[in-house]
Structures are given as C-alpha cells and as structure tokens.
C-alpha cells in the first residue's frame, strides 16, 4: 500500500507547487499550471527503477496518444476557432443587446442571469461571459443604485450555468471524452439536473430585485443573423450531429455573416480563427501532459490505490457517485481550474464508474457539475477574480449572491440520492466489455 502510495507523488508535487505558490504569493495564477504539470511529469519519470527511461517514454506516449485524448484536443482547437470567429463576427454583442432589448425594465437583473445563461451556452466559456457582461452589470448598478454585488452575482451565476452545459465548453468536452459518452446524452442528463437550480435562482433574483426600476436606453443595436451561428451549433449538437461537422458549419457560417456585415474581410477572418485556436493551446497541451502523468501513475499502481480506497469507503453506485463528486471537487479546489480538474480526475472517475456500473453520461455530468460548483465559488478562481476586478469589488463581496452554484450542488446531490440510473442496453454492453478487458489484463 505504501509503495503504491508513492505512485501519486506527481499529483502531490503539482498541488504543492501550484497551490503552494498561490498561498505564499496570494496569486493562485502566479505559478503557470503547465510549468507545475511538466515538473510533476519529470518527477514521475524518475520513479519506478524497474523501468528504463525508454520504457517510461513508451508508457507516456501511449497515454498521450489515447483516442479520447487526441479527439478531445482536436475538439478544443475547433471549438476555439468557432468561438474566435463568431465573436469577431459580432455574435456576442448582438446576443447581449438582443436580450437587453426584449427584457422588461423591472426584470433587468433577472435578465442579466438569463442572458448570462444563453451567452455561456453559446460561447462555451464562463470567463468570456463574465468579461462581456460584467461592465453592463456595473452600468445597471450605477443607474439603479442597486448593489453592484447583486448584479455581478447574477452574471456569474448565468456564466456558470452554461459552463457545464455548452457543447463547445472545454469542461464539457473534457468530461465527455474522458468518459467516452455522447455529447447529446451528457447534455440531456446534465440539463435536467441543473434546471431546478436555475429556476430557483431566477426566482430568488426576481424576489430580491422586486420593485426596482430601471430606465433602459433608447435602443440596443443587434442583428438576428449574427446570432444564428450560435443557434446552429447548439441545435446541431443536440440533434446528435458529429461535433466536428457542427463546429465547422458554425465557423463557415460565421465567416459569411461577419463578411456580409463588414466585420472583417475573408483574410481577416482567418486571423480571428487563428486567435481562437491559440486560446485553446494551453489547455490542449495541459491535457496531453496530464494524460502522460496519469499513464505513469496507473503503471505504478496509483490509480488502483485510489479506486480501492474509494471502494472501501463506499457502497454501491450511489457511494461511487459521491466519491467521484468529492474527488473532482477537491481537485478543483487545489487547481482553481475546473477543466484541469476534470482532465485529472476523469480517468480515475472512468474506472470507478466502470467498477460500480455507473453510466458514462452520468459520471460525465457529475464530474462537470461538481467541478463547476467549486469553480463558481472559489474566491481565487478566474471567474470571481475577473468579475470582481471588472467592477472594482472583492470576490468575497460577490460570493453571498452566488445562489446558482450552491443550488446546483444541492440539485445534483438530490439527483444522486433519489434518482436511480437507467442504463441503455448499449451502455451496459460497453461497461461489460470494459470489465472483461480489465480482467483480461
């Protein structure tokens, strides 16, 4: 047991480096995650003297070349391309202004939450949503006299709604690919878990701001055509079309719309696509490096140790689901990055799910939800740091108004306790094949 415990040293090294520098400096992004992960990888390469250096290279190459890892990285890049081009085409501004123009004045704070939900689902990024909407929230606060913390809280809540639902969110992509399930199946599972939390959050903001008056400005400029690429991607992914084809269709459509409205030339559109791709390079490289680390830890018995530890402390599917939820939540607290948390915890969660026969789409939903719960409440997470900086508040000012992440956790816990899973024949067959493969090894 002790010998296998040392297999987890690379993860420990990462957490000590990343979290330690953050605690000491007060800046949790002072230590680049990629630097900490590469250091952890080299520590892993120094372990297990029974293997030669070349054998260890073979092990990490096999882990990095796994079909799910490669597919995930490619989807990251294409999703980044779509996000870059649709933003340059004016999709974000038109979507925000469209929402503001149709929202009744007395429900403007509620509207910030609703618009945040749609923007985050469309853009696939909570930080991007907060960056776009927080200045509007500040302006709304200044004109109404209503606390800025409440307005910004509505924005952050809306941003976290789409962060674990969007078809192009890096967290969703990571959750789906690490569990080997379909995007549309995970979305449907996830949506019905978080819907009650979203509805209750909307009611709370409505009651909290009841009687508030706000004089909207004369007009908000928008073009419905600029919103269409978002809708095409959302509907196409829900129907079940191939995610690559859906995203490429959205890219082409955004190029046409942007050029037609004079937002850019065709040549400039390629620059926007390139910038969008570049924004996903870091998480892509991190995913590959984490896959290398996990492959070494697995070879040294660390993954089996974690699974055995959880098995001893859990009973049945429900216990396994809570174990997965706690695992990814703790990793997110340590890394302050929900995508990285899912990439790190995903392979372990996959084996736990297979061991206890938990459907992959259910595991993916639990991973994504509880990573987002942690990320939406961390005062040192990028979401709250960005929101607070844009409106000149502290994260602690905003946290009391973050109803959605808390309600999302409550809704997910109720779901795990009271809703037994129903696996399709194909899901059960896949789990049985996975079990047979492990026994063969």
For the chain, give the number of residues. Answer: 441
What Cα–Cα distance (Å) separates residue 286 from each residue in 37, 283, 337, 339, 343?
A: 7, 5, 12, 10, 9
pLDDT digits (tens, 9 = 90+) for 202-220: 999 988 877 666 555 556 7
pLDDT band at 4 (very low <50, low <70, confident <90, very high): low
What Cα–Cα distance (Å) separates residue 336 from each residue in 125, 155, 339, 367?
A: 15, 19, 9, 15
pLDDT band at 421 (very low <50, low <70, confident <90, very high): low
Q: What is the pLDDT of residue 441?
A: 42
pLDDT band at 275 (very low <50, low <70, confident <90, very high): very high
The CA angle 17-22-24, to the nearest 5 degrees, is: 95
Q: How many CB atoms lie within 10 A of CB 188?
A: 14
Look at residue 2 and tell me whether its pLDDT is greater than 60: no
Mean pLDDT of 184-201: 92
pLDDT digits (tens, 9 = 90+) for 86-105: 889 988 788 777 877 777 76
pLDDT band at 257 (very low <50, low <70, confident <90, very high): very high
Mean pLDDT of 58-70: 88
pTM score, two decimals? 0.77
Lowest-pLDDT range of 172-181, 276-285, 301-310: 301-310
Under a CB-based contact definition with an 8 Å cutoff, are residues 262 and 225 in contact? no
Residues 35, 40: Cα–Cα separation, whole Å = 9
Question: Considering only CA atoms, which of 127, 126, 124, 150 is closest in space to residue 137?
Answer: 150
Question: Considering only CA atoms, which of 256, 351, 344, 358 is closest in space to residue 309?
Answer: 351
Look at residue 71 and tell me whether its pLDDT is greater than 70: yes
- Hey, is 187 helix, strand or coil? helix
Q: What is the pLDDT of residue 5?
A: 77
pLDDT band at 424 (very low <50, low <70, confident <90, very high): low
Residue 111 tokens read as: 């509207």
Q: What is the CB-side half-sphere exposure of residue 372 using CA atoms within 13 A?
A: 38
pLDDT digits (tens, 9 = 90+) for 379-413: 878 888 888 888 888 888 899 999 999 999 999 99
Q: Using a pLDDT cut of 70, give the percent of the chain over it.
A: 90
Q: What is the pLDDT of residue 437?
A: 42
């Amino acid at each position: 047991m002790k010998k296998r415990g040392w297999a987890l040293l690379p993860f420990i090294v990462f957490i000590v480096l990343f979290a330690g520098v953050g605690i000491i400096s007060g800046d949790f992004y002072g230590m680049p995650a990629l630097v900490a992960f590469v250091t952890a990888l080299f520590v892993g390469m120094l372990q297990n003297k029974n293997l030669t250096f070349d054998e260890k290279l073979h092990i990490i190459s096999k882990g990095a070349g796994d079909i799910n890892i490669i597919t995930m990285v490619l989807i990251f890049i294409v999703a980044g391309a779509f996000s870059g081009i649709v933003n340059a085409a004016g999709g974000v501004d038109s979507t925000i202004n469209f929402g503001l123009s149709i929202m009744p004045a007395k429900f403007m704070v509620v509207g910030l939450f609703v618009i945040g939900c749609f923007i985050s689902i469309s853009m696939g990024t909570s930080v991007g949503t907060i960056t776009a909407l927080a200045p509007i929230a500040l302006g709304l606060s200044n004109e109404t006299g209503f606390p800025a913390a409440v307005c910004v809280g509505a924005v952050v809540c809306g941003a976290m709604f789409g962060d674990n639902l969007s078809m192009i969110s890096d967290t969703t992509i990571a959750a789906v690919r690490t569990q080997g399930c379909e995007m549309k199946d995970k979305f449907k599972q996830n949506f019905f878990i978080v819907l009650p939390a979203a509805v209750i959050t909307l009611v709370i903001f409505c009651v909290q701001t009841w009687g508030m008056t706000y004089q909207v400005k004369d007009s908000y400029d928008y073009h419905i055509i600029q919103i269409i690429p978002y809708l095409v991607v959302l509907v196409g992914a829900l129907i079940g079309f191939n995610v690559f084809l859906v995203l490429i269709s959205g890219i082409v459509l955004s190029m046409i719309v942007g050029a037609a409205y004079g937002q850019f030339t065709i040549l400039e559109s390629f620059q926007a696509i390139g910038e969008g791709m570049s924004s996903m390079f870091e998480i892509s490289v991190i995913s590959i490096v984490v896959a290398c680390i996990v492959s070494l830890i697995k070879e040294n018995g660390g993954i089996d140790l974690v699974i055995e530890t959880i098995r001893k402390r859990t009973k049945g599917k429900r216990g396994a689901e809570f174990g997965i939820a706690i695992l990814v939540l703790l990793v997110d607290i340590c890394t302050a990055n929900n995508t990285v948390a899912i990439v790190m915890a995903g392979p372990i969660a996959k084996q736990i799910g297979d061991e206890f026969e938990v459907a992959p789409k259910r595991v993916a939903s639990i991973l994504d939800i509880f990573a987002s719960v942690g990320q939406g409440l961390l005062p040192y997470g990028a979401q709250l740091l960005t929101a607070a900086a844009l409106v000149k508040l502290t994260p602690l000012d905003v946290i009391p108004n973050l109803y959605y992440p808390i309600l999302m956790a409550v809704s997910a816990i109720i779901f795990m306790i009271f809703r037994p899973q129903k696996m399709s024949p194909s899901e059960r067959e896949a789990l049985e094949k996975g079990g047979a493969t492990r026994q063969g090894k």
